[in-house]
Amino acid sequence: MHTKLHYLIFMIFLANVLSGCIGTKTFNDNARARDTVALAAGWKHNYGRDNITVTITPSSGAPIVYMPNDPAVRAVVNLYPDPLSGLIVSPQVNLDMTPGARTYANLVSGSFTDYDNDWWQTAVFVDLPSSLPQGTARIDITNPQGESTYSNVNIVPGTGQPINFTYTISPDSNSTDTLNANQLHSMERIGNYVIQFSGSTIPYALQLDLTHAPDVDHGGAGRAYVVNTRGDIKNAAWSDDGTNLRIILHPANGQTLGQFSDFKIYVTGGITGLQLLNLKAVDINGSTVTGVTANLTWNN
């Protein structure tokens, strides 16, 4: 990906994640009919091309509605901050590695993610209709799970064209190409199980034993893959034999984690029927911690 998309990613994070807001902005603010705009949608957990409805209300005339999987909704991509950025490192070392970084991080956690350290900004890339009149157009994005956001864009004179996401094939070449639909969609989030934990006492480590339908190597579908939300905060060791999955979670720095949300993990890879068989929680001395529970949620 080349300059245009890199600029969009930078601007979306700068304007929305640093401020801790829910993301009610388009890039650019001014656009022509048919142009592609990037909408910063905030920290959305269930946004996808197959379930969002985009409603564009022009300054005059009837709203234009893009139903799920409309090709005018080009991609729905989650953008993450650099793990070596001051925003990420500063709260972990309790020092401002860049001016005000801890304040900005606290805004994100306290006002935006409810102290969940798995941060991202959902960006929705939308081609505007060719029939938009000049003036302010409001763009609403909703899904059946009740998530919603909106942005306003100023429609200026002229007729634009959808962005083709041009990129340079190699640093030493002037040859360029464009991202096709499959390349854009490959950056989108795939189906996954979210595993979150709760209890009265935060443990030092957790061990989960789970079962699932046979994977592709055993006559079924998919292959288990565990994704750790924050590898700088905790370690996730796991193994899978095709139907049984074991996951062991413990802090990366040897200290008890700050909140249960830090233990959150994802299980993906196309497997089905994931179920928890056993959960073991221990303190730093290896003694059992009671009352810890796990919740499995499927996100398609």
Q: Would you state the pLDDT for residue 10?
A: 42
Please give the full DSSP string across the chain, using - where no structure is assigned.
--HHHHHHHHHHIIIIITTT----EEESSEEEET-EEEEEEES-SS--TTT-EEEEE-SSS--EEE-TT-TTEEEEEEE---TTSHHHHHHHHTS-SSTTHHHHHHHHHHHTSTT-----EEEEEEEPPTTPPSEEEEEEEE-TTS-EEEEEEEEEEEE------EEESSTT---EEE--HHHHHTTSPPPEEEEEEE-SS--SEEEEEEE-S--GGGTSS---EEEES-TTTEEEEEEE-SSEEEEEEEESSSS--SSGGGG-EEEESS----EEEEEEEE-TTS-B--S-EEEEEEE-
| Residues constituting the chain | 300
Q: Given a cut of 90, is residue 231 above it in pLDDT?
A: yes
CA pair distance 103, 109, nearest whole angstrom = 10
Is the overall model pTM greater than 0.85, yes or no?
yes
Instruction: Give me the residue spans of the domains in the chain.
Output: 3-80+120-185, 192-299
* Alpha carbon distances (Å) from 194 to 22, 226, 267, 295, 299: 22, 10, 7, 8, 7
pLDDT recorded at residue 167: 78
Q: Is 124:12 a contact under the CB 8 Å cutoff?
A: no
Q: Which two tokens stand for residue 4?
A: 């245009």
Q: Render pLDDT for 237-292 as a digit per residue (tens, 0 to 9).
A: 999 999 999 999 999 998 999 999 999 999 999 999 999 999 999 999 999 999 99
CATH superfamily of 3-80+120-185: Immunoglobulins (2.60.40.10)
Query: Residue 12's pLDDT is what?
Result: 43
Question: 193: buried, middle or exposed (CB in 10 Å: 19+, 13-18, 0-12)?
Answer: buried
147, 45 in Cβ contact below 8 A?
yes
Task: Quote the percentage of the chain above a pLDDT of 70.
Answer: 89
Which tokens in the block code for residue 145?
């799970």
Tell me which residue of 3, 298, 14, 32 sits closest to 159, measured CA to CA. Answer: 32
Are 283 and 204 in contact by the 8 Å Cβ rule? The answer is: yes
Please give the average per-residue pLDDT across 77-81, as a whole number.
93
CATH 2.60.40 correct for 192-299: yes
Q: Do the domains 3-80+120-185 and 192-299 sit in the same CATH topology, yes or no? A: yes
Q: Which pLDDT does position 173 carry in this prediction?
A: 66
* Span of 6-15, 121-130, 235-244 with lowest mean pLDDT: 6-15
What is the band of 18 on the pLDDT scale with cuts at 50, 70, 90? very low
